[in-house]
Homo-oligomer: A and B are copies of this chain.
Amino acid sequence: MTQNGVKTAAIIGGGVIGGGWAARFLLMGWNVQVFDPDPEAQRKIGEVIDNARRSLPGLSDVALPDEGKLTFHTTISDAVAGVAWIQESVPERLELKRKVFQTLQEHCPVEAIIGSSTSGFKPSELQGCASRPEQIVVTHPFNPVYLLPLVELVPTDKNTPDMIANAKAILTEIGMFPLHIRAEIDAHIADRFLEAVWREALWLIKDGIATTEEIDNAIRYGFGLRWAQMGLFETYRIAGGEAGMRHFIEQFGPCLEWPWTKLMDVPELTDELIDTVAGQSDAQSGHMTIRQLERARDNNLVTILRGLKAQDFGAGALLNAQDKRIGAPAAMPDDLSKPVVTIRRAIPLDWTDYNGHMNEARYLQAFGDATDRLMEIVGCDADYIASGGSYFTAETHIRHLDEVHAGAKIHIETQVLAGAGKKMHLFHRMFEGTRELATGEHMLIHVSLETRKASDPAPQIAAALGALAQGHAVLPTPVGTGKAIGTK
């Protein structure tokens, strides 16, 4: 079912979920044929696809296939013509879904896979009245479908192993992780957890213990950060420490008997259940020692926290507020005849690369931060930038003099080589203690953020920058200034 090697998917039912599926197939190179009786379908799906275009392709460090072709159809028979995959995302009413499957199977290729986005129905219920039950399987995704990889793949014994393998291959091809659920169960797996937490949250709100915001903060500043990387059991394996998972369960187990929630039907913690959990955890994580797991966890946490910091969101916004509390405010130095110390910091864990040292791009990130600080010092701060002026870097020359590793404390000294008119010519030197690690020479141009063209800075910025340039004129020209690559 390919046209010039391009495969086609049918999306039955749009909305946020159907639109997310459409976006995933489309951006991974499939043609997409939509059927949705909602007169607003085209707009709604278009908005989801716009969101996906903005975020999905850049996740990849290689080029994705060319986008497929998106078409809208007024009949199901048109929408399913020649397709290899059909994704059903109509409202959660069993009668409706069964009716849709009947129509689908009257018109679609018999070898196409019909996946249902249902969160509430078991595959055997969906297959119940179908003419070809073996064609239907649950493929339950998570919002936003175009970014989250998880899809719960729930077959029954009506589905052949070949069909299941084919479904997995296609889901993997469009960037998803098919979690094959071996026994069908109401709500599959993930939604059972979501339901349990949702109910507990409603109790807390009803009883006046916590607000929605307090509950969200309890999640996103704590265990949410752990679950984004390791989930429940690998996290608890670490908590068990060298004594292992068995120790953790035995220690934590009795808490199950405590009156901690209103939902109290709990499984009995038999030796058999403990053996099962401990054995599965060994199979899952036993290839790493607890110390290795701790380090992986901390690397991941630092990476996630620093990423959220760059977005100034959640736990990252807390860290930015802390930096603001700890850091000195930007101010012109008392002594204008000395280089300005623009940066003092430790090298983060996530700045290291496969050579075991700070990656070259992070040197420029640190020099860029030094430039930002110098800009703040002369008055080109967030308020000024919001008013429409800024400096853009035109040219950079970096000399890497020595290696540096995560955790090292560095500082950067900045000398203004020139600062007049539209130009700002800076020279940064990076040190660990007295050991010089790198130099960065940078030419920046003041621009209007409206025209994106060179423009004069505001008079107070020109004055402050000029004063620094004049003060620094007494300093020797730093070694490396004005050098081209490969010259001494």
Contact = CB atoms under 8 A, between A and B. Distances in A.
A393 interface: yes
Interface in A399-453: 399-400, 403, 406-407, 409, 425, 441-443, 449, 452
Given A59-B302, A224-B228, 7 more contacts: A54-B349, A148-B221, A177-B221, A192-B261, A229-B308, A311-B350, A361-B364
16 contacts: A58-B302, A58-B346, A58-B348, A63-B345, A181-B214, A193-B223, A195-B255, A195-B261, A201-B232, A211-B280, A212-B233, A303-B310, A356-B449, A397-B398, A425-B486, A484-B484
Contact of A396 (B200, B263, B347, B396): B396
Closest 4 CB pairs of A and B: A216-B231, A58-B348, A224-B227, A150-B222
A210 B228 contact: no
Contacts of A351: 58
A486 to B, nearest CB: 6
A333 to B, nearest CB: 17
Interface residues of A, number: 179
A263 B260 contact: no
A211 B207 CA distance: 34
Contacts of A59: 302, 305-306, 309, 319, 348
Interface in A146-163: 147-150, 152
Contacts of A187: 258, 260-261
A365 B361 contact: yes
Contacts of A222: 142, 148-150, 190
A326 B231 contact: no
Contact of A199 (B206, B256, B361): B256
Interface in A172-207: 173, 175, 177, 179, 181-183, 185-187, 189-207
Given A186-B260, A227-B220, A349-B58, A277 B449 contact: no
A216 B200 contact: no
A397 B396 contact: yes
Contacts of A55: 298-299, 301-302, 349
A241 interface: yes
A338 interface: no
A195 B395 CA distance: 55
A407 B56 CA distance: 9
Contacts of A177: 217, 221, 315, 318
B409 A63 contact: yes
A286 to B, nearest CB: 11
Q: In this complex, which of A55, A263, A295, A425 has the most chain B Cβ atoms within 10 angstroms of its Cβ?
A: A55
A436 to B, nearest CB: 14
Contacts of A215: 189, 231-233
Interface in A355-378: 355-356, 359-365, 368-369
Contacts of A62: 323, 326-327, 344-345
